[in-house]
Amino acid sequence: WRKLQKQAQISFQRGDMARAERFAREALLEADSSLGTYHEATEQSLNILALSLRMQRRPDEALPFAQRLVAVRTRRYGADNIETAIALHNNAEILIALGQLAAAEEAQRAAVRIFEAKLGPNHYMTALGLHNLGAIRLKQKRYAEAEQYLRRALAAKEKALKPGNLSIVHTLDNLAVALESQGKHDEAQRYKRRADAIRQAAARGQAAR
């Protein structure tokens, strides 16, 4: 298992997701058969396999492994552990990609509750979870609720990240959509301009390197 898992990790770090997937599948088979469903080795192989499939934009294949990972971490660490919350968060992102919004919201809410309790309201993971809840509401055309989640996500990101981080742009863009959809055109334009300014600064920084 160790050799297979190491190859999966090296391939993942190099960005070779197809190779990472192949080794992770083999490592998972070995861990399942020789070490058991809830062993640490099984957890690690599930994580790499789910992530490599996500990175290849194959959310339908990633989902069962991501769901297994939630179950394994809940059993190993408890329902309120940060590792469990991260697995829930990743599971929610896969469900969003698949359009399974009710299930995505349930998983993401559970993750955010843990992030807020363990890491605080202004941690980056909390911000990511709030952003996803806002994105779910946007897809559901529930714009006022989306606005509230995205405002909270933006405030948390601005505290957790350095100014100009492109993750902030993603939330600014979504917040602008939520506001525009409610007829709040002037405010939406202000957020759009902020997002554009960050993107332009980032592009200038890249060009200067």
Binning pLDDT at 50, 70 and 90, where does residue 44 land? very high
CA 86, CA 92: separation in Å to the nearest integer? 10
pLDDT classification of 203: cutoffs 50, 70, 90: confident
Residue 31 pLDDT more than 90? yes
The answer on pLDDT for 120 being more than 80 is yes
Other Cβ atoms within 10 Å of 185 Cβ, number: 11
Q: Token digits for 166?
A: 């492109």
CA-to-CA distance for 182 and 190, rounded, in angstroms? Answer: 15
pLDDT of residue 202: 86
pLDDT of residue 156: 97
pLDDT at 207: 76
Amino acid letter at 125? Answer: M
pLDDT at 142 over 80: yes
Distances (CA, A) of 141 to 92, 93, 102, 170, 185: 19, 18, 14, 18, 17
**If you average pLDDT over every residue of the chain, what do you get?**
96
Q: How many CA atoms lie within 13 A of 64 on its CB side?
A: 3
Q: Burial letters for 3-15: b for 16+ Cβ neighbours within 10 Å, e otherwise?
A: ebbebbbebbeee
Confidence of residue 205 (pLDDT cuts 50, 70, 90): confident
Residue range 185-189: average pLDDT? 97
Specify the length of the chain in residues: 209
